Amino acid sequence: MSNPNIPESDQNIESTESFDTILKQYEQEHSRRSEDDRRQINGTVIAVSADTVFVDIGFKTEGVLPLSLFQGAGEIVEPGTKLLVTVKGRNQEGYYELSRIRVEQPKDWTALEQAFADKAVIAGTVTGVVKGGLSVDVGVRAFLPGSRSGARDAAELEKLVGQEIRCRIIKLDAAEEDVVVDRRAVVEEEERSTKERRYSEIEEGAVLSGTVRSLADYGAFVDIGGLDGLLHISDIAWTRVEKPAEALTVGQQIEVKVLKIDPAGKRISLGMKQLQPHPWDAVEGKYSTGERIRGVVTRTTDFGAFVELEPGIEGMIHLSEMSWVKKVRKPSDLLKTGETVEAIILGINLPERRMALGLKQALGDPWADVAERFAVGSQVEGPIVSFTKFGAFVQLAEGVEGMVHVSEISAEKRIERPQDVLRVGEVVKAKVLDVDKEKRQIKLSLKQLVPTGFDEYLAEHKAGDEVSGRLIDVAGDYATVELGEGIRARARIVLEPSAPAETQTPAAPDLSSFSSMLAARWKNGPSVSETKAQPVRAGQVRSFRITALDEDAKKIELQLI
């Protein structure tokens, strides 16, 4: 309200003076505050417009930064981002102009000369692109050569326009008003300083946010706040990754765990999969020995093939567990990468995270019932599949082979090598001599299915028949008798006591009969009746009665008569 005792014109003068005084006091306070606020302040981004970043710095009015400052550096800024800033002053809209650079811009030539002499870092603003480099406002117009800008190409050079930079004066000529500055050296020094600080801050086991900077065949390089760490391909995921590009893209934001730090080599190893539960942690209650599973062949080696049951869980089929039938020389001959197979879990080693699988077991063991299918004494048939020095192998069924020893090939002649009389692929008939399921062996005979003179003799005679044979060997009450070529029998010898000779008067000899007897003996040998009266000895031809015939054992029992 106006004071009625003071003229209106005087009132206006007093009001103007009061406003001027208040404005000066305000500017002085904020000028002093601005000087104090060259210190760094923690600010928080509250909004981002098309060209401006608004930052809460704890004052009544927000601070602002040009968005191009972040875009040129490739930084992502969004509400909530924390920034370290300094206050430069206020703009026409009343917002505080902020800087992310702590150093000040020189105010005059004296300050420039002092900065040049001290090789001090100063602040400047890039005003434009000129021939050979950039124009920079450092209190006066300065030239920044393109080679000293730190930009890698023309596009990066363009992005520096409008940005506030830190640089060092490398040439100062007051007379010519020629000022040349260097930004690259300052950037490299700051990068080294940042890396040293970051190396000291990072610890093994820490979980950090990072940005994928580049990809290689063996992994990805990740920027973790000014430092590059290597994310090896084997540490990207628990599943097998063939190429890093299958799982990552350049510029992607990821979470990584610091696995190892090598301060001497300045190397950092990172991992992504370590932030996820290990699939093997659930194996104990999920899989069991003897279980049938399905999986995909991920790779083959000289000794086997790896099969993925689920992401992160692999089992191995050893070469020896691939086939009952085929002699597999290389896993790749039987299995191909990407192929889906069924297998049986043979064993699980939880501590070592290994699983043994069997491919042939999933097909069933062909030897499980060989004793029933190929009984001893039965006749079988199959092709010759291979030879050894001591015999030939015959395929009896899928996965089942029997062996004919060289001594069981022929009864008529001695065979030195089985391939002399047999050939691979030839179909033969054989008799099963023995079956050993545990050793997976079946013994066969070819010769025992070929009729012999012994077989024919057995077929033509029966128990009770009287036959003649030559005594081969005599031992006690028994003798070995040859009934024909290759046909021998065992005979029991019973000697009957000879009758006492009667005492008679010798008659006159009949010389003609005696001569006839001598002639017969000379031609035919002694008669059976004459031999019968003689003691039993080897070489005699005697008469016998067949007491027993055993066709299976091929035996003949005789009784001397």
Q: How confident is the model at residue 50, as a pLDDT?
A: 87
CA 383/CA 381 separation, integer angstroms: 7
pLDDT more than 90, % of the chain: 47
| AA letter at 550 | D
State the CB neighbour count (10 A cutoff) for residue 430. 26
CA distance 244 to 20: 67
| HEC letters along 327-351 | CCCCHHHCCCCCCEEEEEEEEEECC
Contact 67, 52 (CB under 8 A): yes
Tell me: pLDDT of 232 over 70: yes
Paired with 207 in beta bridges are: 257
pLDDT in tens, 410-430: 877 888 899 999 999 999 999
pLDDT at 35: 45
Residue 532 or residue 97, greater confidence: 97
Contact 423, 429 (CB under 8 A): no
Q: How confident is the model at residue 368 (pLDDT cuts 50, 70, 90)?
A: confident
Quickly tell me which residue has 């031992």 as its tokens: 475
Q: What is the pLDDT of residues 10-60, one digit of tens each?
A: 444 444 445 455 445 544 544 444 444 456 788 999 999 988 999 999 888
CA pair distance 313, 271, nearest whole angstrom: 18
Instruction: Work out whether strand 96-99 and strand 82-90 pair parallel, antiparallel, or are unpaired.
Output: antiparallel
Residue 489 φ then ψ, to 5°? -140, 165
Residue closest to 380 by CA, chosen among 455, 459, 435, 418: 435
Q: pLDDT tens-digit profile of 129-138?
A: 999 999 999 8
pLDDT at 198 over 60: yes
What dihedral angle (degrees, nearest 10) is formed by the CA atoms of 500, 506, 507, 512? Answer: 80
233 neighbors 265 (Cβ within 8 angstroms): no
**262 vs 82: CA distance, rounded Å:** 30
pLDDT of residue 510: 44
Q: In this predicted structure, which of 88-92, 302-306, 451-455 has the lowest mean pLDDT?
A: 451-455
Residues 6+ apart with CB under 8 A from 260: 204, 268, 269
What residues are paired with 270 via a beta bridge? 231, 258
Q: Diameter of the chain by CA atoms?
A: 213
Assess contact for 315 and 306: CB atoms under 8 A.
Answer: yes
Interval 440-447 mean pLDDT: 93
Of 389 and 199, which is predicted with more confidence? 389
Average pLDDT value for the chain:
83
**Paired strand residues for 278:** none
Of 235, 236, 335, nearest in space to 316 by CA:
335
Name which residue leads in pLDDT, 181 or 238: 181
Structure tokens at 293: 């599973």
pLDDT of 378 > 80? The answer is yes
CA distance 475 to 480: 9
Q: Which domains does the chain have, with CATH numbers?
A: 8-99 (2.40.50.140), 109-189 (2.40.50.140), 202-275 (2.40.50.140), 288-363 (2.40.50.140), 370-449 (2.40.50.140), 456-499+515-560 (2.40.50.140)
With a CB cutoff of 8 Å and minimum separation 6, the contacts of 166 are: 101, 103, 121, 122, 123, 124, 183, 186, 187, 190
- The CA dihedral of 402, 408, 412, 416, to the nearest 10 degrees, is 90
Q: What value does the mean pLDDT take over residues 443-447?
A: 93
pLDDT grade for 490, boundaries at 50, 70 and 90: very high
pLDDT tops 50 at residue 485: yes
Distance CA 344, CA 459 (A): 54
- Other Cβ atoms closer than 10 A to 554: 14
Average pLDDT for residues 504-518, to the nearest whole number?
42
What would the mean pLDDT of 262-283 be, rounded to a whole number?
89
Instruction: List the alpha helices (DSSP H) in 160-278.
Output: 184-201
